[in-house]
Structures are given as C-alpha cells and as structure tokens.
Structure 1
Amino acid sequence: RKGCDETLLQTIIAMKPKRVVYVSCNPATLARDLRILEDGGYQTLEVQPVDMFPHTAHVECCALLVKKL
C-alpha cells in the first residue's frame, strides 16, 4: 500500500523495459509512482480499475506504461 520504493522505480527506469504493468491498491501512491516513471521516460497508456473485492470500498488499479521513443 505504500507504493514502490524509489530505488525500485529508478532501477526500472535504468533497465528500460518496453512496457511496465503496475498493479496498485492505493490510488495516491499509484499516481505518485506513475509520475516518477513518466518523468523517467514512460507514458501511461491506460489505467483500469478492477473490483477484486465486491461490496467493499477497495479497488485495485492496473496501469500500462510504455517507453517513449
């Protein structure tokens, strides 16, 4: 729930994968981490909420990012 560690995000950026799929249960940390990845050269293509726990307030979010050319 605390999001990704800064070291992990910088490692992902340094490895330069073509695509990153990020799954999060916390919209605030997801937004924070997506901004770091976007500043590192990625573009967020899609964010899809997924109701894994019906009848609760909890929602997972799946984000797809691609490396900018």
Structure 2
Amino acid sequence: MAELPSRWTHAVRADGRVFFISERTRTTTWLHPRTGLPVNSGHVTRSDLPQGWEEGYTPEGASYYIE
C-alpha cells in the first residue's frame, strides 16, 4: 500500500476492506488518498471459522487460513 499523507490513518473492516480516515476533516473514504484506488487487505474475518482464525488470499486469488 502506498504511503499515506500526513494526518491520515487507515483501518480494516472484518471483510478485509480497507478504509482511510482523515484526522484533519474527520471524514473517511474507501479510496487511498494518494492513489485514488480502493485497497483490500487480503484478509477476511469469517463468522464460520473458529475464533481467532481469518481467511487470507494470495495475489493470485488462492485462499489460506491464519490463526
């Protein structure tokens, strides 16, 4: 992921989708503030997996599990 401008942070939803937070304007966006593109962390928290497990995806799209 590209470096964020100053006063920006990011967070990740349970479905792996990344959103960006402007500390200055107190707004959020799905698009990276420098690139203008959406970002996915590649990790998904699924309710059907045992507690503490997540599903991740390789760049090729193959799934794997993380404890």
The TM-score normalised by the length of structure 2 is 0.25
Greater relative CO, 1 or 2 (CA 8 Å, sep 6+): 1
Larger radius of gyration: 2
The TM-score normalised by the length of structure 1 is 0.25
